[in-house]
């Protein structure tokens, strides 16, 4: 079941990459990133990690994959990262937040909203963490070359 859902995430990411005008083979590799991210998220849930932690791990894996593939394909990281992160975006959380708001259940709406904001924040933190580490490594390599 996890593999089937990951395949659907691959297809959805592929469609979004076409929608975002990603060209050539980058479309395929962005879609692989989306499928990989959903696989890590689903597998983490299967291992009884919390939803928040599962999203965090998945965003880290997607960011590492995007940084790696961007170097291999010689393309900007955002070309792959933006599309690959799409399956992890908590759209259903926003939907349920709005639904509960319209129903008038403010407590449930606030609860859903906080969970959704936490998930979005955790995804952003995972991406920023990987990006910052890669920048530090690149800076260190450049600095070390300058000393020789």
pLDDT at 148 over 80: no
pLDDT at 142: 84
How far is residue 45's CA from residue 126's CA, in Å, rounded to a whole number?
A: 17
> Please, what is the end-to-end C-alpha distance for the chain in angstroms?
53
pLDDT at 69: 97
Domains: count for the chain = 1
88 within 8 A of 124, measured Cβ to Cβ:
no
Q: Model-level pTM?
A: 0.91
- The average pLDDT across 87-99 equals 95
* pLDDT digit string, tens, across residues 34-85: 999 999 999 999 999 999 999 999 999 999 999 999 999 999 999 999 999 9
Range of the domain at 124: 2-147
83 within 8 A of 17, measured Cβ to Cβ:
yes
Q: Which residues contact 118 (CB under 8 A, 6 or more apart)?
A: 52
pLDDT at 33 over 70: yes
- Detail the DSSP E strand segments found in 20-143: none
* pLDDT digit string, tens, across residues 101-132: 999 999 999 999 999 999 999 999 999 999 99
pLDDT at 147 over 70: no
């Amino acid at each position: 079941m996890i593999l089937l859902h990951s395949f659907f995430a691959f297809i959805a990411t592929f469609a979004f990459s076409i929608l975002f005008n990603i060209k050539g083979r980058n479309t395929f590799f962005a879609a692989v990133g989306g499928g990989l991210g959903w696989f890590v998220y689903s597998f983490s849930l299967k291992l009884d990690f919390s939803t928040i932690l599962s999203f965090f791990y998945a965003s880290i894996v997607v960011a590492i994959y995007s940084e790696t593939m961007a170097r291999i394909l010689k393309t900007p990281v955002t070309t792959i990262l933006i599309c690959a992160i799409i399956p992890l975006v908590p759209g259903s959380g926003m939907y349920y937040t709005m639904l509960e708001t319209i129903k008038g259940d403010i407590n449930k709406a606030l609860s859903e909203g906080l969970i959704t904001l936490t998930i979005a924040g955790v995804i952003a933190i995972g991406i920023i963490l990987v990006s910052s580490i890669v920048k530090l490594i690149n800076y260190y390599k450049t600095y070390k070359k300058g000393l020789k």
